[in-house]
Amino acid sequence: MQAPIKFIGKHQNLKHDYLRYIEECQKMVDTINPEAKKVNVEDFNASEKAQAEIMGQITKTLTRIMNMLLA
């Protein structure tokens, strides 16, 4: 289903941010080395920080959409 015209920009932002979030989740998983039973803590923390920033952007976009719906 396609988003209504007034939401297309916000919809595209959400798609882009969710894809970035998935990429960061994969980066976090990739920091784990099960054979060595180790985690690359620096990369893990960087991914965690990036995920938090992306979720902040997603929340901001969703809030804008909700405000548009209520206006």
pTM of the model: 0.85
3 closest CA partner among 51, 45, 67, 65: 65
10 assigned to some structural domain:
no
Split into its structural domains, the chain has a count of 1
Q: Which residues of 53-68 are buried (b: 16+ CB within 10 A; e: fewer)?
A: ebeeebeebeeebeee
- Domain range for 44 is 40-71
57 assigned to some structural domain:
yes
63 assigned to some structural domain:
yes
69 assigned to some structural domain:
yes
Nearest 5°: CA angle at 61, between 58 and 65?
135
Series of mean pLDDT values for 10-residue runs along the chain (71 residues) = 76 95 98 96 98 98 91 78
What is the pLDDT, as a whole number, of residue 8? 83
| Exposed / middle / buried, residue 70 (Cβ in 10 Å: 0-12, 13-18, 19+) | exposed
